Amino acid sequence: MANLTYLGHSAFHLESGTISVLIDPFLTGNPMATAKADDFSPQTILLTHAHNDHVGDSVEIAKRSGAKVICNVELATYLGTKGIDTIGGNHGGTIAFEGGSAKFVPAWHTSSYSDGKRVIVVGVPSGFIVRFGGATMYFAGDTCLFGDMQLIGEEGIDIAVLPIGDHFTMGPTDAVRAVKFIEPALVIPCHYDTFPPIKQDAEKFKQQVETSTKARCRLLKPGEGHRF
Ligand code: NI
Ligand code: MN
């Protein structure tokens, strides 16, 4: 058995037994988060891109737990200067981690990091196809709709985690079109309601997914998990 817990915004926790993986762990300063950075001691952290609402508490968590941070090569080099272990990858590449693997796939977005004084551009954004606990999951990261999501769908996606907030990523209408490309068994929306510009009617998105595609849609509250 494995569990995928939503931590709010784009942050997720995958666990199976003693194996713990965090994805985009933005907890401090995340108004939706019900968990704190201190609650986790993962072996692995996956980062889709450098934006602060995705890198989040990664450095602090990795320093304390010894977690390896898997992300694009430029971000890996940058975060490596902060004294943590990183593994840099790039689109098309698969990197194995304790309990599973992550394949870098494209995402249409940007990838900059603000340290409070200046903004630096670090690599390009990605999504991940994660194989873990017997399931194949697609974490789209921050992205618009793009046609090559069909290629991602060909990998046989059990769970698609898609942004629906609009403004910075695709909104609900395009996310429903994405579901038609990906054809997952289950859709879990994210990256909505955290801040006023990305407020959405997630219930309406769920209805649209379930009436116009074969996928089921599950809305997770922050702190709530999906067992698989
Ligand atoms: Ni972003
Ligand atoms: Mn974001």
How does pLDDT run across 155-201, given as a tens digit for each residue? 999 999 999 999 999 999 999 999 999 999 999 999 999 999 999 99
Q: What is this structure's pTM?
A: 0.98
* Alpha helices by DSSP H, the chain: 52-55, 58-65, 73-80, 149-153, 172-182, 202-212
DSSP 84-122: --EEEE-TT-EEEETTEEEEEEE-SS--EEE-SS-EEE-
Ligand 2 centroid – CA 53 distance (Å): 5
Distance 168 CA to ligand 2 centre (A): 7
Enumerate domains of the chain plus CATH numbers: 3-214 (3.60.15.10)
Distance 26 CA to ligand 1 centre (A): 12
| pLDDT tens column, 6-63 | 999 999 999 999 999 999 999 999 999 999 999 999 999 999 999 999 999 999 999 9
| Helix pair 202-212, 172-182: axis angle to 10 deg | 30
Distance CA(128)–CA(68), nearest Å, equals 16
Roughly how many angstroms between the first and final C-alpha of the chain, as a whole number?
A: 6
Q: Can you tell me whether residue 166 is helix, strand or coil? A: coil
Question: Quick one: pLDDT at residue 6?
Answer: 98
CA of 191 to the centre of ligand 1 (A): 9
Rounded distance from Cα 1 to ligand 1 centre (Å):
31
The residue among 100, 170, 121 whose CA lies nearest residue 141 is: 170
